[in-house]
Amino acid sequence: MCGIAGIVSKNGENVVPLVGSMLLCMINRGPDGAGLVADGHIIKSNSIATMRPQFQKMSGKSALGHTRLAIVGGTCGAQPFSSCDGRLVLEHNGEIYNYKKIRKKLEKRHKFSTTTDSEVIVHLLEDHLRRNSLIGAIKRTVAELDGVYALAIQDIKTGKTALVRDRIGVRQLYYADNGRFVAFASERKALWRIGMSEPTRSILPGSATVVSSDGQLESFHVADPIPPKVRIVHRTMKSAVEGYRKALIESMEKRTQDFQRIGIIFSGGIDSVLVAYLAAKMVPEVVCYTGGVKGSHDIAYARQIAERLDLKLKVAELDQDAVEKLVPEVINVIEDANAGQVEVALPVYSAVKLAHEDDIRVMLTGQGADELFGGYSWYPKVVEKEGYKKLRERMVEDLLLLYKETLEREDKITMAHSIELREPFLDTEVIRVALATELRLNVKGGHDTFGKHVHRRLAQSLGIPKDIAYRVKEAAQHGSGMHDVIGAIARKHGFDDSSVPASYIAALRQREKIGSSQRYGYLFGDEKIWTAEPHVQMYLDSISKRLPQFEVVAKVK
């Protein structure tokens, strides 16, 4: 995991100092190394601080900067990397799980200077660029990569810079342009730091945006986020469980190989339980981390389940005052004041903070299982009212929107604590198996209170007791107690129904709804559970306006 920043000037001005400022804004994303390339000249160092005297002497009308969190390749992996012929410069944020296989194929033709997974990408691109355009080379390269990534690729020969995102959008990259330059970064606050105003844009999953030397932008599709056509092959529970078992175990093995110690974001729900249970069989030391309000259901269940499954658990218990102190910090980190996002982020943030204090470097999460296997409480009601075909469409939409509704938030939280997050359920093969499974096996219909039956049956077959596998878990904001506490804090500061003007409520209705619960889930149940109360949102907005380096992102449809 790392931080990427860069600028292409439209008028030839020196942008190196600005890129340096952007990197300093994201120092937590890469405490183990730093690098910068300006007009083809590369410098590297073991930290931004030691690199500053060098880049203060540099100049360039285009520059890429990088901060590195060392996970693969030890301390010798500062970026950017260059191709053997010197034409390409690459920066990578993410993990490539099949890099050893790719490297073995490339070693006869290319000289490697590190053992990192990132370096294989630039040499693979170099191979494909000999017979293709830059976009053609990128398409062929990402087709071979098994992993997650945000890439910044500079072609010295043409002056073009390509920004690329993995097919499901696990790693993010933002960009913005104005009359002076095009800028891009792993976090929006780095763009805000240099005066870029909203709207900033995301590189979309499976896409590449190419910036020409004069700042012109062009976007391309380079990889399918999910397989375009998947034939249903798992029509019985036995077939589905066996197919899923193989895919998930391989996914977990990829994400835990070579580690002696790993952390789990743990809520006590079956998704995080299954990840933790498998990880404990693969890694010598596994520590689960839970966050929430004192006395909340998630904390109580997490403790009970961890004890029964012999999992090591640490808990961050927060009272109302602690939550209140964390709210501004969380808003600043996730770059969003949306009430639903903040309420879910708070327990995750407190758990990850505890992991950071334990010097955990990599954590696993259960994100993605609900969208793949039908775990949301409104899915059976969709079947009842709209049928299975419509449910599949909604589930695919939820999966494709994970990048901005969940993944970007979680990445920023973990990277704020210099921790890399890995998502076993979003492995390409796990996704393929889920889509190839008859949907009726997972969601039974209008009266199904569980969902995710293939997921739960696999958990049972691996040795997880049935009552744990089939426990119905509350949504994170409710199970952790955050929803009620945030409401109480807002009222404490004078925000209640009577304080919200009609004009604010009207403006609130125009904001983009984030998460399937806000987009349509509320239509199939109690609207009050899933819709943010206006006075709570008004309180969070008031905080965001006072935060340094934070712009309120008024997301309007």
Catalytic site positions: 2
For 54, 292, 425, the CA distances from 380, given in Å and listed in that order, are 59, 28, 21
- 117 known member of a binding site: yes
User: Alpha helix (H) ranges present in 365-523?
Assistant: 369-373, 379-386, 388-400, 402, 408-415, 428-435, 453-462, 466-469, 476-479, 482-492, 502-509, 516-519
Sign of CA dihedral 393, 201, 34, 110: positive
Contact status, residue 106 vs residue 141, Cβ threshold 8 Å = no
CA distance 227 to 224: 6
Helical axes 482-492 vs 339-357, angle rounded to 10°: 110
Cβ atoms within 10 Å, residue 494: 11
- 3-state DSSP of 256-321: HCCCCEEEEECCCCHHHHHHHHHHCCCCCEEEEEEEEECCCHHHHHHHHHHHHCCCEEEEEEECHH
- 3-state DSSP of 326-361: HHHHHHHHHCCCCHHHHHHHHHHHHHHHHHHHCCCC
| Residues in CB range of 380: below 8 A, 6 or more apart | 443, 444, 445, 446, 447, 448, 449, 451
